[in-house]
Amino acid sequence: MSITAVSTPNIAFIKYWGNRNDSLRLPAADSLSMTLNSPHVEITVDHADTLTVRSFEADGSEKTLKEKDIMRFARHLELTKEYLKKLASSAQTPTSELTNVTITVRSQIPSSIGLASSAAVFGCLAKAYAGLVAASAETSASPLTDEQISVIARLGSGSAARSIYGGYSALRAGDGDAMDSSSAVQVADENHWLLHDIILVPTQEEKKVGSTEGHELAWSSSYYKKRLEEIPRRQKECWDAILAKDFEKLQHVVEEDCWDMHNVMQTSTPPLKYLNDATYRITDAIEELRETEHLPVLYTMDAGPTVHLFCTEEAVKAVREFAAEQKDCTIFETKTGKGAILLP
């Protein structure tokens, strides 16, 4: 019996950077994001004798997975089994076992747009595992809750915990070393507030250190401690701004947090310089545009030079025009979306 789930990436307004426990991806601080409505990843899982992972690109061609990628899926499966055992022993959920599986990943995320696919992949895989467990469990057993599914997603990629929900969601850091001590909750669903994300990808890609390695360097920056002290206030301001649909308040806190994360990255040992000249040129131009046109638009950048321009419906036309004028950039457009779902 195979189970298929679909999920999309999310983009953080308050960024997750650094863990208190790297191997369990227990974050050092809270984060908050918007789930996108595209591009999506589809994953099919089924019980099997041994773990097999196959991955297909948007054009249908099969990707050759590196040993490191397969190890990540294997480790994630082991952690998921451990978590399910823990839930079963505390009688919180189905007693059904997850054995070995075949995993087939079909990704519509173009590798050229600088969108990290790991959030969508592990959000999707967690949803699919939950579906597989529910389908094989005793009928009396209650299915996994979204919060429990977010824990499974987080064990594969920290930010994936937030892709379980539609709209806006928060990953709460929690404390301690229990594998379920950090989980995600929904802040507001996808019908609450429609925001567009116009993504500008500068074409001259720079050499990148992946986020998994990056998180481990966070503590080496002398600014990291201060960042951790500031996050609770920012998280609350961001949460409040979303509930109140206060774009100006959102803009201030999102940009403050983005620069702060990049400051930590750039001052770590070794320094991580993800932004390039095009990034700075675009963010300067947006600040200028905001000044002259009073447009509700904000920018944020993750672990790469790609700029996400978030705006309301009223500003989308002007922001699209701005994006089209930027030289040497690939443009991708998306907006607020639903969380991970199971396909019938």
Interface with ligand DP6 (CB under 6 A): 12, 15-17, 25, 31, 116, 118-119, 157-159, 211-212, 215, 302-303
Q: Which is nearer to ligand DP6, 16 or 322 (CB)?
A: 16
Q: Which is nearer to ligand DP6, 13 or 247 (CB)?
A: 13
Q: Which is nearer to ligand DP6, 94 or 158 (CB)?
A: 158
Output the 3-class SS for the chain: CCEEEEECCEEEEECCCCEEECCCCEECCCEEEEEECCCCEEEEEEEECCCEEEEECCCCCEECCCHHHHHHHHHHHHHHHHHHHHHHHCCCCCCCCCCEEEEEEEECCCHHHCCCCHHHHHHHHHHHHHHHHHHHCCCCCCCCCHHHHHHHHHHHCHHHHHHHCCCEEEEECCCCCCCCCCEEEEEECCCCCCCEEEEEEECCCCCCCCHHHHHHHHHHCCCHHHHHHHHHHHHHHHHHHHHHCCHHHHHHHHHHHHHHHHHHHHCCCCCCCCCCHHHHHHHHHHHHHHHHHCCCEEEECCCCCCEEEEECHHHHHHHHHHHHHCCCEEEEEEEECCCCEECC
Q: Which is nearer to ligand DP6, 83 or 322 (CB)?
A: 83
Q: Which is nearer to ligand DP6, 123 or 131 (CB)?
A: 123
Q: How far is the CB of 207 from ligand DP6 (least distance, A)?
A: 16
Q: How far is the CB of 341 from ligand DP6 (least distance, A)?
A: 21
Q: How far is the CB of 12 from ligand DP6 (least distance, A)?
A: 3
Q: Which is nearer to ligand DP6, 7 or 211 (CB)?
A: 211
Q: How far is the CB of 50 from ligand DP6 (least distance, A)?
A: 25
Q: How far is the CB of 339 from ligand DP6 (least distance, A)?
A: 15
Q: How far is the CB of 124 from ligand DP6 (least distance, A)?
A: 14
